Every structure is written in structure tokens, then in C-alpha cells.
Chains A and B, each alone.
Chain A
Amino acid sequence: MESKATLSLKDLDKNDPAHWDLVIKPHHNLFDLNLREIWRYRDLVWLFVRRDFAAQYKQTILGPVWHVIQPLLTTLIFLFLFGTVARIGTDGIEPILFYMSGITIWNYFSACLTTTSNTFISNANIFGKVYFPRLVLPVSVVISNIIRFGIQFGLLLVFMIVYAFKGVHISINFYWIFIPVLVVIMAGIGLGLGIIISSLTTKYRDMSLLLTFAIQLAMYITPVAYPLSFLKGKSYQWIVTINPLTSIVEAFRFCLFGKGTVTMQGMIYSISFMIASLVLGALLFNKVEKDFMDTV
């Protein structure tokens, strides 16, 4: 036995591929995602999340209160614009709750998308100096935004309780368990589209310029400030229906208030869109991450 062991040690020649831990070469397998490596770096993901939080509101008086001020103000503006001026109905939901719920889930999506889409450019200085799995950053962005979403969702709950006391019928029902699923789908689409855009912008920055106003436009073709039922029978309803975010926002409201337009096809469409954007995003990201430093 012993002689055999020495023999196999000698056989660990440098030509033996098993001898090497790492091979750096110009081209590599597109599907070589290395998710295990991201798991190995999970501490880093968490530390990036902490950094985002700790650093964001340093040297402000209100600190984390800013997380709730922004949705509150937006709700008020919507209340005035869409409720008072445009007089668009809210499916029978209390208007403040209607707008706030839409804004909460929409904010989560747009924050995921904008921040992940800047991954390469805004972190070029770190990426240029040290190797770690690049996907760590967009993943940490999605997680830190979940915490922000949690805070805003808490605000929404506070308002719901206040309205419940005022006599508005609000009940916690079985559908609430789907809320985390909806958040995950929202995160998936935000992350998927975000990393697609970040991969495309390493060389040509045009996409990131387009993105800022594309997100604004997208909000108007998503039922954030109006219910989907408001468009029923209108010739341009299809624009909103082909938007994969529509079903999620409607389903989110349906879970909370029991009112909204939710269809099975719509949900399947959203989920398939999420999977497709994540797969395409991961492939592009994987292709770009190896040498984007040369062009960024």
C-alpha cells in the first residue's frame, strides 16, 4: 500500500490538470458560472450589504428616516396628481394605501435595476485591483434593497393598521404568503435586467443614459398609479399587459387588499420573463467580467 501511495504522489506531475487549482486563459466556458465560489464569498456579500447601509446616511440628521420620507412624499404627490387632479379610481382601495403599495414594490424594482446596472462602472476601481467573484456585488445590492423594501413595507403596514382602526376593512389572509414570492420575482427581474445592462455598458455607455428615463417611462406603463382595471377596453391596454411587471404589482395589491386583476397566464409570463432575463444576464455577465477592465 505504501509504495503505491508514493507512486501516486510522484504522478502528481505538473502536466496533470488536477495539480492546478486555477487556470487563467483567454476563453472559457460560457456556462461556467461558479456559483460555489459565490457561496465561498458569502461573508463579503454580507459586508457589502452592511457597507451600503452604514455609509448611505452618514452625516445626515434624519439618518434611516430617509428610507420612509421618500415613499411618503411620492404617495402624497400621486394622491394629488392621479387622485385629485386626474380622478383615476383605485379599485375601491383606500387611495393612500393604493399608491403606497404600488410605490413600495415599484421602488424595490427600480432600485435593484439602477444599482445593479452600474455594477461594473461604479466599482471599476475595486474590480481593477482585486479578484473576487463579480456577481457578489449585484447580489449584495439586491439583498440590501430587500432590507430597504422591508422598511417601506413596514411603513405600509403601519398605515394599514391606522386605516383598520378608522374602520376600513383590512384582513390578513392566506394570500399574504405569496408576498415574498412576488418580491423574489421582482428582485429576479431587477437583477436580471440590471446585469444585462451592466454587461452591455462596460464598453458603450449609451445604455446607461437610456436607462434613467426608461425606468421613468416603465413606471407609467406599470399599474403603479392606476389599477389595471382602469384600462379595461382601452385600445392601448396591450402595452401595459405585455409589461411583465404589471402582474406582479397587481398581484401584490391583490394579496394585500383582495382587489386587483391577477391571471395565471400573467403570473407565468412574469416568472418566465424573470428566468429568461436571469439566464441571459448571467451569460452576458460571465462573458464580460473576465476582461471588462480593459474597456471600462
Chain B
Amino acid sequence: MSTVIQVDNISKQYRLGEVSTGTIAHDVNRWWHRIRGNEDPYLKIGEENERTQKGGSDYVWALKNISFDVQQGEVLGIIGRNGAGKSTLLKILSRTTVPTFGEVKIKGRVASLLEVGTGFHPELTGRDNIFLNGAILGMTKQEIKRKFDEIVDFAGVERYIDTPVKRYSSGMYVRLAFAVAAHLEPEILIVDEVLAVGDAEFQKKCLGKMKDVSDKDGRTVLFVSHNMVAVKSLCSKAMYLKNGMVVEAGETSHVINNYLSNSQNKSLLQFYEDADHAPGNDKAKLRRIEVCPELDTPIDSVTVKTKLNIEIEFWNFEEGKMINLTIFINTYAGECIFANGSQVANLSSGLHKAVCVIPANFLNDEIYSISLMIVGDASYPICFFENIISFEVHEDRENSGWHGKWPGFIRPKLDFRILTT
């Protein structure tokens, strides 16, 4: 085996905020330093990329001093929270941007799937788009012709092949797009979260295809995903990124466990010690909201089988007020799945506590966010805290026969039996 990707100490700096008239002042200053032979003044500053905290500088390091090697035939899973630098790293490897410092060396042809259907034109037919998309991904016309039937077959869209893709259902669109990409023959394949789309059957097909690509053909795959089950079943090695730095790289299940235990504690609590700085208004304020999973050991991950207690502490400033709480469970995209209200209680002025229990076997493996409303007289909102906290529920990894994602936003365990006589 030989090294096919060598990443040598790369860093990438981004400027936050808008590009506008203010930017030109920095550009002029940078240029002034350069003609005098000095170092770029803005490269010395910049902070760790922690998106939840307000920073003092407009510059952040999306990646900082990343080094790693990938051997031929290896499937490397890259994991980390949103904003950890995964996509930036893939962008550099797929040459859509360059690092600020450092160097990447690659042997072999690279194809990147940062998105499926790049360059698909809605007005063109499926046939035309296969050719266009294939060429954008680096195939020649001859290669595409050779694989055309195979692509159409894999996507399962024979009937629509001469219809403009704007008439396709979104599922068909994605299947066609992935089919083109899956038939690329690069030595190195870079894949970013494309599995989040398509139906379960198709996802299974995609994962199978990726496994084939590495097992049979000895090709190298870099795979970014939030689906830990997929990463675990596909990847021989994994790398955990956090705030633009490598936390750990190595054996897949070890890295995944480290990631899960590390990523949970952090976002599961919002706590405001001091009423002056707490969110809310002069009638009520939020002190604490915490998602407390009932786990056997603290490093266990929250799975679909975990019971969750959502604990809330809030201040009521109006003596003798009739108050109830409403909790909204939202998808990560912000859509409310369901809401639930507490009983109406006559509260004294001061600190109060509430608990909402989400039973085990109820949520799916998704990222959820919670909004909370404090309601007065069971009729009008006193204050509303939108997406105040988010948490992730994972697939129960003991049940590993099925690699795809279970469909739906909730996954209640119902009484569902085959009746036998």
C-alpha cells in the first residue's frame, strides 16, 4: 500500500461578516504590508472556530495545522459537529479552494461529491444531464457513453430519460445524480453527506456501491457523515475534527465513541446563572434548560432507546400568575414535529422548575432542537425561546443489520404484531 493523499500542516482562514466597503480597508492594509515585504497582518490574528461563542476578531481559522496521510484503498470517515471544518477540508482536497498555509499532495484522479447533481440544468433532459454532469465530474464523453445504460439502470429512471429533469420528483433527481457520480472511476472519491437524501432502499444501494468501490477496486474513499452507523460500517479509519483541529484519528469505533461522548455534554445544557443576563423579559426569564438522558454510564450515547428528561428552570416575576409551559420539538431544519403543554399552575413570584419526559423508543435518530414558550393565563405567550437547545439522538448501534437511516421524524414503538394462530 502506498500513500495517496498526504496532507501537510494545512490551515485555512476565513473572514467573517459581509464583504462590503469595510473590506477594502483590510485589503489595502494587506497590500501595503506586502509591498514592504512584511507578513500579512491578518494572518497573525484569528481564533478557534467555535461558532456558538461570540469572538473578538473577524477572522477565524476553519482549519488549523491539519496533517494526515491516507493509504491506497483506505476508507477514511471524517466526523465532527457542524462547523468543525469537515467541509472546508473536503473543499481543499477537491480543489474548490486553496489552504491559507500548508500543502496537500495527491496521487491519482480525484472526484468529489460534495453535492449530487452539480451542474444539472432543469431544462435539459435526463440524458443530456447525464452527459453534462459526467463531464463536470471529469469523465470524457466516451466514458459516459460506455456507462450510460448502467447509470440509467442504477438510477431506475428509464422511462423519464428524455424528459427535462425539472419534471422529475426530487427522489428521481437525486437518484439520477448519484448514479452518475457512482459510476465515476476515480482513484480517490470524496463524498460529503449525500446519503442524507433519497429513500431507504436507495441509501442502501449507495452505501453498498461505496463499499464495492473500496473493497473490490481498491480505491480510496474520504467520507464525511453525521450518520455514525454508516461511518462505522464503511470506514476502516476515522478522523474526528473539532473547531478546525484534529482531536483524534485512528480506529473507527474508538474515534466514534470519543466523538459521541465529547459532543453530547456540551450542547445539552443552557444555563444562565444571573437573571440580569438571562433571556426573557420583565415578566419571566429562563434560567436553565437541560436535556438529561438516562444513561447507564456517562459515556454512553443517546440513542433511540434512551429516555430523555427535559429539565427547565425559570423565573416568574408576577405574583399569583396563571402560567403553563409549552415545549416544541423541532427538526434540525426548524420544522415543529410536535408540541406539548404542561398543566396551568398558579405560581408565586420566584424560581420554578419543570420536567418534561420524552419516553424511550419515541424519537428517531435525528438532530432535534427545542423551543420553549411560557404562556400566561393559558392564552397568550409571555416569552418564547426559539431553538434554545439542540440535541442529537443516535441509532441504536446494537441493531446493525440495517445501515440506512430509519425514515420519519419520530419512531414510536407501537404494538405491532403478526397474528399467528
Contacts and interface: CB of A to CB of B under 8 A. Distances in A.
A169 B189 CA distance: 64
- 3 closest pairs, A vs B, by CB? A131-B95, A44-B135, A24-B104
Interface in A14-70: 14, 19-26, 41, 43-44, 46-48, 50-51, 54-55, 58-59
A295 B26 CA distance: 13
Interface size band for B: 35 or more
Contacts of B136: 44, 126, 130, 132
Interface of A: 14, 19-26, 41, 43-44, 46-48, 50-51, 54-55, 58-59, 125-132, 203-204, 290-291, 293-295
Contacts of A54: 123-124, 128
Contacts of B27: 203
A46 to B, nearest CB: 8
B118 A130 contact: yes
25 contacts: A21-B108, A21-B109, A23-B106, A24-B93, A24-B104, A24-B106, A25-B98, A25-B102, A25-B104, A26-B98, A26-B99, A26-B102, A43-B141, A46-B141, A47-B131, A47-B132, A55-B121, A55-B123, A126-B118, A126-B136, A128-B114, A129-B115, A130-B112, A130-B119, A130-B137
A123 to B, nearest CB: 9
Nearest to A22: B106
B140 interface: yes
Contacts, number: 112
B234 to A, nearest CB: 22
A271 B263 CA distance: 62
A41 B135 contact: yes
A6 to B, nearest CB: 15
Contact of B107 (A21, A47, A130, A132): A21
Contacts of A47: 131-132, 135, 141
Interface of B: 2-3, 6, 14, 19, 23-24, 27, 91-110, 112, 114-115, 118-119, 121, 123-124, 128, 131-132, 135-138, 140-141, 164
A51 B6 contact: no
B135 A131 contact: no
B128 A51 contact: yes
Nearest to A128: B96
Contacts of B109: 21
Contacts of B110: 22, 131
Contacts of A126: 118-119, 136
Contact of A24 (B99, B114, B124, B131): B99
B96 A14 contact: no
Nearest to A19: B107
A203 B27 CA distance: 11
Given A47-B131, A55-B121, A24 B98 contact: yes
Contacts of A203: 19, 23, 27
Nearest to B8: A25
Most central of A54, A127, A293 by chain B CB within 10 Å = A54
A130 B24 contact: no
A290 B97 contact: yes
B105 A22 contact: yes
A21 to B, nearest CB: 5
Contacts of B131: 47
